[in-house]
Each structure stands twice: as structure tokens, then as C-alpha cells.
Structure 1
Amino acid sequence: MSKSLLVISRQAPWSGPSAREALDIVLAGGAFDLPIGLLFMDDGVFQLAAHQNAKAVQQKDLSANLQALGLFGIDDVFVCRHSMAVRGLTPPTEAHPLSNDAISQLIDRYDQVITL
């Protein structure tokens, strides 16, 4: 049986390659039907903000990768409610907002956790 994997994305989409790498790991896992989840925390929640201009900061646009999550069977997408509130963002409908306590419980549910 496959071990479950939770990827925690904590970096803004424009702060370097970590945001893209987190999405690549999740999409690759989904392609192999691994039980996988994705959690956006801290500045990683900026990846979910609408109307980003990736070219302005010379970064790759991650919106297509985010939209592909469902196509790869990635339904367990979560977002830290506190991180969204502190940054003045509203959780998108495609991500389940979680409290800090719920995040601790979520992490405990997975066999392996990768933080980027």
C-alpha cells in the first residue's frame, strides 16, 4: 500500500522555485495515484490569490498548475485560515480552510510530510 504524503507550501509564488516545486511534487504524486494532500501556509497562500502577474516578477505563472490539481485527482487541498486572514485574503472555494488545531490533526493523518 502507498504511503500518504502531505506537501506544505509556505513560499510566495514570486520568492523563488519552492512554490513551483511543491506543485510539481503534488502533480507527480497525483499522476501515480498516491494518496496526497497539499496545504498552503504562511506566504504560500499568495499562490491562491487571483489576478497575479507572474511576468512582472519574471516568474512562471502557476495558475495552470493549480487548476490541474483536480485533473490529477488532487482533491485534498487545504489552506491555513490564519495565514489568509493575516494577509487580507479570502480562502478560495477549491481549498478547505483550516484552523491551526485542524492543521496539526491534518499533519498527523499523513505518513510523510514535505515542507517547501
Structure 2
Amino acid sequence: MARSMLIITRQSPWSGPSAREALDIVLAGGAFELPLGLLFLDDGVFQLVPAQQATRLQQKDLTANLQALPMFGIDALYTAKRSLSERGLDEATLSLPVELLDDAGLRALINRYDHVITL
């Protein structure tokens, strides 16, 4: 039986390769039908903001990777309510549907998975 894995992405899309690497891991796992979840935490919530202008910062645009998640069977997408509110973001404006979690919900989510990787 496949072990479940939660990927926690904490970096903004413009802060370096970590955001892209987290998405690459999730997409690869999805291709092998592993039970995966993806948690956007802290500055990682900026990955969910539409109309990114990554090329201005000489970064790869992650929009296509994010939109491909459902095609790879990755439907378990989460974010922290606190991460959104601290950054002035609203769930209604995000590019993907995510489940919003409070602190207790985050702890429960992390405990549900066999493995947790933070990038």
C-alpha cells in the first residue's frame, strides 16, 4: 500500500526554486498515483495569486503547473487562513480552490499523512 505524503510549500514563487521544486514533487507523485496533499503555507500562498508576472523577475511562471494539479489527481489542496489574512489575500481571488484551515486544522492535517516534506 502506498504511503501518503503531504508537501508543504512555504516559499513565494519569486523567492527561488523551492516553490517550483515542491510542485515538481507533487506532479511526479501524482503521475504515480501516490496519495498526496499540497499545503500552501506562509509566503507559499502567493503561488495561488492569479496573473503572476514571473518573467519580470526572471523566474518560471508556475501557473501552468498549478493548473495541471487536478489532471494529475491532486485534489487535496490546503492553505492556512492565517497565511492568507497576514498577506491581505482573499480566498475568492485565488487561482485554485483550496481548503482553508485554522491552526487546529493544520495540526490535524499534518498528522493524517505518513510523510511530510517542507520546501
TM-score (norm 1): 0.98
**What secondary structure does 1:104 align onto?**
helix
Q: How does 1:1-116 map to 2 (within 5 A)?
A: 1-91=1-91, 92=94, 94-116=97-119
| TM-fit CA distance, 1:52 | 1.0
> Which stretches of structure 1, 4 residues or longer, exceed 4 Å deviation after superposition?
none
Identity of aligned residues (%): 60
How many residue pairs get aligned? The number is: 116
Does the residue aligned with 1:107 lie in a helix, a strand or coil?
helix
Structure 1 residue 41: Cα displacement: 0.3
In the alignment, residue 66 of structure 2 is paired with which amino acid? L
| Structure 2 SS opposite 1:69 | helix
Note the residue ranges of structure 2 that are not aligned, 5 or more in a row. none
Q: Determine the C-alpha separation between the residues in 2 that align with 1:99 and 1:15.
A: 25
TM-score calculated relative to the size of structure 2: 0.95
Q: Please, what is the CA RMSD of the aligned residues?
A: 0.7
CA distance in 1 between partners of 2:112 and 2:71 (Å): 23
